[in-house]
């Protein structure tokens, strides 16, 4: 309404969302007409002028003409209802079919694994050195079909970027699939759409659609190992990272940090948000997040830090350099 809708089914940028919105307008139009007709019928029934004879009659007074007319009207209304429903069902079926047909020949496959409360993304590739894992922010090439294979590591989540497509659940033990095709460049926000615990509200994700060339550059950069620290403070930060609790959970490819249970931080500074869309990626937010994640996302799996201020600043400096 007042804010640019980057997260709205009413502002579609993907082929899936567009098809669904068109279907929705049809249903909405038909529904509005039906409702207005029902309200008019009720109003007419209420306001009909009753004759003196009618007003004086007892409750069981026969009204054969009125009843015959009512039978006719009700019968026609029922028939019309049936016809409308069949038509709407047909529209729905054909939209569903076109969405299913739009899944053929994807050019890119990404494995999405849901965790409490972040998204693990694994970009696959025939070349092993081009495979990488990242978190919470998906880049896709504009205009191409991208297949996302969805599963979960813990509870049921749901992948939903309303501007791009409908949702699909991430269910442990299942591999669901969704194909998105983004028609215009931009940044699109999504959320988890299946209640998954304490921080379901803060499990957002970002999809960035960019031209093929830019996408390829991004991908090559992501596949590369982490940038070495550029300043002395950042070097101290890397050392602090490896000597503290961080390494038990997080991985930074190219260093000794190989934790598997938390978001991959190899290129964390290339992402626009932190903590699955909860905070922007800025120095202050990063500091606040590391110092006390429980204040931002109570119940999240990241513990409060026991770092002293110098270590914290050094780690922030290092992480900011991981573009």
- Closer to other proteins by CB, 221 or 295: give it: 295
149: nearest Cα among 205, 192, 107, 111: 111
Site map (CB under 8 A) of other proteins, residues 244-283, x = contact: xx-xxx-----------x---------------xx-----
Q: Which of 197, 224, 270, 285 binds other proteins (CB under 8 A)?
A: 197
Interaction between residue 158 and other proteins (CB under 8 A): yes
Single out the segment in contact with other proteins by CB under 8 A; choices: 30-38, 125-133, 217-225, 313-321.
30-38
8 Å CB contact between 208 and 134: no
Interaction between residue 134 and other proteins (CB under 8 A): no
Q: Work out how close the CB of 217 gets to other proteins at its nearest, in angstroms, rounded to a whole number.
A: 28
Interaction between residue 35 and other proteins (CB under 8 A): yes
Alpha helices in the chain (DSSP H): 15-47, 52-56, 64-101, 212-223, 232-243, 283-291, 293-296, 309-320
Interaction between residue 83 and other proteins (CB under 8 A): no
Interaction between residue 64 and other proteins (CB under 8 A): no
Interaction between residue 109 and other proteins (CB under 8 A): no
Q: What is the largest CA-CA distance in the chain?
A: 100
Interaction between residue 199 and other proteins (CB under 8 A): yes
Total of chain residues touching other proteins, rule CB under 8 A: 106
Site map (CB under 8 A) of other proteins, residues 279-318, x = contact: -------------x-xx--xxxx-xxxx------------
Interaction between residue 167 and other proteins (CB under 8 A): yes
8 Å CB contact between 249 and 262: yes
Interaction between residue 73 and other proteins (CB under 8 A): yes
Single out the segment in contact with other proteins by CB under 8 A; choices: 106-114, 138-146, 173-181, 217-225.
173-181
- Closer to other proteins by CB, 196 or 223: give it: 196
C-alpha distance from residue 195 to each of 61, 138, 144 (Å): 57, 22, 31
Interaction between residue 81 and other proteins (CB under 8 A): yes
Interaction between residue 74 and other proteins (CB under 8 A): yes
- Closer to other proteins by CB, 131 or 184: give it: 184
Q: Is the dihedral of CA 50, 53, 54, 56 positive or negative?
A: positive
| Three-state SS sequence of 277-308 | CCEECCHHHHHHHHHCHHHHCCCCCCCCCCCC
- Closer to other proteins by CB, 145 or 250: give it: 250
- Closer to other proteins by CB, 48 or 212: give it: 48
Q: Which of 168, 222, 255, 266 binds other proteins (CB under 8 A)?
A: 168
How far is Cα 242 from Cα 14, in angstroms, rounded to an integer? 42
Question: SS3 of 101, please?
Answer: helix
Pull the structure tokens for residue 213.
């060339």
Interaction between residue 28 and other proteins (CB under 8 A): yes
Interaction between residue 34 and other proteins (CB under 8 A): yes
Interaction between residue 206 and other proteins (CB under 8 A): no
109: nearest Cα among 137, 136, 141: 141
Angle between helices 64-101 and 15-47 (to 10 degrees): 170
How far is Cα 59 from Cα 72, in angstroms, rounded to an integer? 22
221: nearest Cα among 271, 185, 187: 271
- Closer to other proteins by CB, 113 or 158: give it: 158
Interaction between residue 165 and other proteins (CB under 8 A): yes
8 Å CB contact between 219 and 225: no
């Amino acid at each position: 309404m007042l804010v640019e809708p980057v997260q709205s089914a009413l502002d579609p940028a993907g082929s899936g969302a567009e098809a669904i919105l068109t279907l929705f307008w049809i249903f909405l139009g038909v529904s509005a007409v039906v409702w207005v007709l029902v309200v008019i019928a009720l109003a007419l029934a209420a306001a009909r002028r009753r004759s003196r004879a009618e007003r004086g009659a007892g409750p069981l007074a026969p009204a054969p003409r009125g009843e015959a007319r009512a039978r006719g009207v009700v019968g026609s209304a029922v028939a019309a209802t049936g016809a409308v429903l069949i038509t709407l069902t047909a529209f729905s079926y054909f939209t569903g079919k076109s969405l299913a047909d739009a899944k053929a020949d994807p050019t890119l496959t990404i494995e999405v694994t849901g965790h409490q409360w972040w998204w693990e993304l694994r970009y696959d590739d025939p070349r092993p050195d081009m495979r990488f894992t990242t978190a919470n922010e998906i880049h896709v090439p504009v205009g191409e079909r991208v297949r996302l294979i969805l599963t979960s590591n813990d509870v049921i989540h749901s992948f939903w970027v309303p501007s791009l497509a409908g949702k699909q659940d991430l269910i442990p033990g299942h591999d669901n699939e969704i194909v998105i095709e983004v028609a215009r460049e931009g940044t699109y926000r999504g959320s988890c759409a299946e209640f998954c615990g304490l921080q379901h509200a803060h499990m957002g994700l970002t999809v960035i659609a960019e031209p093929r060339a830019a996408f390829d550059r991004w991908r090559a950069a992501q596949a590369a190992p982490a940038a070495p620290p550029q300043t002395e403070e950042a070097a101290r930060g890397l050392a602090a990272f490896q000597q503290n609790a961080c390494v038990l959970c997080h991985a930074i490819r190219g260093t000794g940090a190989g934790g598997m249970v938390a978001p991959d931080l190899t290129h964390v500074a290339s992402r626009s948000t932190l903590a699955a869309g909860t905070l922007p990626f800025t120095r202050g937010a990063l500091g606040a997040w590391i110092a006390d994640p429980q204040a931002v996302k109570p119940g999240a799996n990241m513990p409060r830090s026991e770092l002293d201020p110098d270590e914290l600043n050094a780690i922030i400096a290092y992480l900011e350099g991981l573009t």
